[in-house]
Each structure stands twice: as structure tokens, then as C-alpha cells.
Structure 1
Amino acid sequence: MSALVIVAHGSHLNPDSSTPTHDHADTIRAVEAFDEVRTGFWKEEPSFREVLRTVDSDEVYAVPLFVSEGYFTEQVIPRELRLAGWDPEAWDSDGTSATHVTLTAEDTGQTVHYCGPVGTHDSMTDVIVRRAESVTGDSDVGAGFGLCVVGHGTKRNENSAKAIEYHARRVEAMDRFDEVRALFMDEDPEIDDVTDYFETDDVVVVPLFIADGFHTQEDIPEDMGLTDDYRTGWDTPATVDGRRIWYAGAVGTEPLMADVVLERAADAGADVGRAIDQIREETRQTDAAAGD
């Protein structure tokens, strides 16, 4: 038997923080890629420390639903899962290239394939593009549009910006959008000045955050000038400085994120069969239906 455990931050203050995690777990359960699918959280139950005890399987694929490599993926999660012999150097990563390492959980004896975060996986680029399609209702969106990938950014952890810049470069290489930029909340270049960085009349803004919360639903819309007060909402698109801003909300809420979770597990050796293709097909149909 094998199990998938999706580990995410969660929140004591925002009840919607864990919703994407549960939604993606449900999507993966439905395709029956694993005998068990469980979720564990830092700020909700079951906790990182207890989640392996909810799993009957001896083999576990643990996938962090986090944007970047850093404190949580390198210290908190391995410590709380009690992964014997863990060392961040085992990933041999440059900040965006963590894959997986196989260790043993000290207290349960389970074999744990500990994976890199979803936010740095190459498939996340596809999710960002899908997010742009979803918010515009156009599966061919690109020509005449700019795309802005937004991250938190922090001077305390350079890897926070690396993931954002990595995917911006990958989208740019597709030659699909007229312009692609990476902007940040807490470092330069800042999202406050989004219209200064684009010449296109239409700009899709996709925040590389796992869940919608304080930053994506309050800070970023107000910082961009979509609204003076997030409580009154904003138009989609909203006109700012003569440009139309299509604000997509957190990338982690996109149904295709379930595919990235499965890709991480598959890279670590999980036999997921056709589940990846199935999820891509089903989420495409869901998005098409939502646009009708």
C-alpha cells in the first residue's frame, strides 16, 4: 500500500486557507492514484507531527503545498515528520530544483519519500498559464496581453523570489504573452507599480500563493489600485492608469494544482498510472464549463 500526504500551512485565523489543500486531495482521491490520501497542516489539524499516524500505508509520498524552498520545507516539515537523517543538502538544490529524498519516519517506521515543494515544480508554469485562461475566460489568451507573476518576496530568504522569477522566465520562453514580469510585495520591483512595467493594454496578474487570504484578497488588490477598500470588491478587469488589470487570485486555488502534486509524487517514484493525464483532462473540462 502507498499513501499521499499533502502538507500545507493552514491558518487559525482564515478558515478558507486549507480549502485548496482539501480540494486537491479530493481530486486526487477521485482518480484513485493512491490507496490513501491525507492532509496535514502547521496551523490546523491533523498537524504535521501527527499526520503520519493517520496513515495505514507503510510507504508515504509527502508533498509540501508550499511555494518555495525555505524554512518550512527544509526545517519545520522534516522535523515534525521526524524524518531520520534529514539534511537539506540531500536535495542538492539551487533554490528551485529540489526533487525528493527517501527517509524513514523515526516514530512510525514508515518509508517517506519527501518531495520538493509544488511551487518550484516545472508543471507550476502550466498552472500559472491556466490561471490566466480561467480569469479571462479565454483558453487562447496571450496575444495582446501581459502576464505578471506576483510573489511575496523577502530579503530574509532569497529562495522566495527565485521561484517567482523562475516561472516568469519559463512563461516568457513560451512566447505566448507579449510581456511577462515578476513583481513582489516586499521587495523590488513592487506590485504597487504594476502599470509602470507593462506597455500592453491588458495585464493578467497571477499571485504565486497557495491560498487566498490577507495578502491576495486585501493587500495586493489595494496595492495595485484595483480598489480603495478591499471590502467593497473590485471589477474584473479593473482599469488602472488606463490599463485593464485581470486579477486572478491565488494560483493554488486553480484545480490544475492537483496535477502538480501528483507530478511531485510521480517524480519520487509513485506509480500514478494515467492519473496525471486524467486530472489535466478533467480540470480543462471544468474550466470550460465554468466559462460557458
Structure 2
Amino acid sequence: MDKRAGLLIIGHGSEHSSGPLVSACGHAERLLDSGLFAEARVAFLMAGDDPCETLEAMRSQTIHIIPLFMCDGYYTRTVIPKKLKIQGSRTYRDGGLLIYGSPIGVHPGMADILRLRALETCRAAGWDPFGTRLMVIGHGSPKSSASAEVTHRHAAEIRKQSEFISVDCVFIDEPPRIEDWLLDLPAEGPPVVLAGFFAADGLHSSLDIPGWIEAWEERTGSRQGARLRYTGAVGADERVTALIAASIGSEAALPPL
């Protein structure tokens, strides 16, 4: 019998974009190819394979459940545990063990991936990072501070490197909102990298933010990409795969970030 554990990655999912599926499947495939796991599956709370059915179909005696979410909020604390009938970090069931991990967005290494993606964006644009502003875009929520707190925490870690003019945060669903911030952004000034702190390129990341950037460029007469560049969702980055492995104690088996 294969003694290796199984892995179940659970995302929110989207009815409007394939981004969440691409992101989660990419991580699962890379981790399965690494030989760390006997099986690696993905499931979603909406618009995808049901987490309960997927978990039921898995055969590993020990299964690691990793939420592909950016903060430890309502979905990770309440919805997923209730849906899967798990309590705490370890649940023994039918002779097996379910190990429920922290949402990957809270991993300390996420700040460095955000930072590296921003530096890569500067390099591609020909911008000097020391002359560039960095805005980290989180989802935010008027009902919970969890999203804003982790976004600010990662931004503070990036700020310690002193590689950009400034490192600040804006949000989709709470002030300061990225849409409003762009409305107030003047036509002239230093270049800006917008770093998406999202699990995948879903509706907000693939449609809303690019649309708001395009509206700003049309309003100010700026050439496309001349002053604003968006990194896309950090959660889809291949380097996040290593964070998933690290979060369950297998970082030595994957290449470093």
C-alpha cells in the first residue's frame, strides 16, 4: 500500500472565470509530479467539483486539506469545516486522518512572492523599482478585518526591503477602494505596480481591475502600460506551490523560492 498522504486543495471557485480552476489544478499537478503525494485533487465551494464528493473519492489514509484562500476568514473558519464535518486541525474518521491546514495566503512566504512579482514587473517595464510605487490589492470585506489585516501584514514585510518609493494597500470591497484610488490618481507621477493579492485570476483579477486601469488610461490619455502595470493574481504563481508544500512540512522536497 502507498504510505504517502493525499492532498485536497479547496478554492472558492467562480462561475465567470476559469482562473480558479487553472490556479488550483496547476498546484495539484506540480505537487503530484513531485512524488510527495499519492494523490492530489482540487475542489471548489462553487462552480466546480464538490469538496465532500472529492474527499469521499480519495483513498489515502492521511489527507492534507489546504484552503487556496488569501485570508483566514468566514470561508476557511466556518464554511469549509462545516461542509467537510471537520473540527480543528486534525479529524480522525473511518480509520483515517484529515489534517486541515491554514489558508495559503497567510503563509509568511507570500510577501516575498508578491515582492518578486513586483520586481519582475518593473524589470519587464524597464522601470527602476526605487522610482516605482507598489500598491498591493487585497479583496477586503466590510464584514471581517481578516483580509485587510493579512494584506497590510505582507505589505509591511515588503516595505522593510526599501526597494520601492512606497508600499501601500488598496482593496476591492472596502476603503481605500482601488477603483476610487484610480479615479484620484493624477495623470503625471512615478510608475505604479499593482500587485494582486488574490488566490486566482477570477472576476475581480481578470476583468474588474484591468477594466479600471483601462478607464484610467483613457481618462488621462496615458499609453497602455506606460505608467500602470498589474501583476495578476499571486495565488496562481508557481512559487506558491512550494508554499503549499512548506505549509505541510515538505518544503525540502521542492526547489526554494
TM-score normalised to structure 1 length: 0.76
> Which amino acid is 1:222 matched to?
G
Query: Which deviations, in whole Å up to 9, do the C-alpha atoms of 1:10-64 show, x marking residues without a partner?
Result: 2233233311100111111222122221112112443111222222111111110
- Report the 3-state secondary structure (helix = DSSP H, G, I; strand = E; otherwise coil) of the residue aligned with 2:248: helix
Q: Give the total of aligned pairs.
A: 246
Which residue matches 1:70? Answer: 73
Mapping 1:1-292, distance limit 5 Å: 1=3, 2-83=5-86, 86=87, 101-105=89-93, 108-137=94-123, 142-192=129-179, 193-194=181-182, 196=185, 201-224=190-213, 225-226=215-216, 235=224, 237-238=225-226, 244-266=227-249, 272=250, 274-276=252-254, 278=255, 280=257
Give, in whole Å, the separation in 2 of the partners of 1:21 and 1:141: 33
Shift of 1:5: 1.3
Q: Contact 1:8–1:64 (CA<8 Å) still a contact in 2?
A: yes
Identical residues among aligned pairs (%): 28
Shift of 1:121: 0.9
Give, in whole Å, the separation in 1 of the partners of 2:54 and 2:233: 25
Shift of 1:159: 0.8
Query: Which deviations, in whole Å up to 9, do the C-alpha atoms of 1:134-154 show, x marking residues without a partner?
Result: 433459963222211001212
Task: Return 5+ residue gaps in structure 1 as ranges.
Answer: 91-100, 239-243, 267-271, 281-292
RMSD value, Cα: 2.6
Cα separation, partners in 2 of 1:41 and 1:279, compared to 1, 3 Å: farther
- Report the 3-state secondary structure (helix = DSSP H, G, I; strand = E; otherwise coil) of the residue aligned with 1:211: coil
Give, in whole Å, the separation in 2 of the partners of 1:3 and 1:118: 17
Which residue matches 1:241? Answer: none
Cα separation, partners in 2 of 1:33 and 1:226, compared to 1, 3 Å: farther
- Report the 3-state secondary structure (helix = DSSP H, G, I; strand = E; otherwise coil) of the residue aligned with 1:219: helix
TM-score normalised to structure 2 length: 0.85
Q: Contact 1:222–1:228 (CA<8 Å) still a contact in 2?
A: no
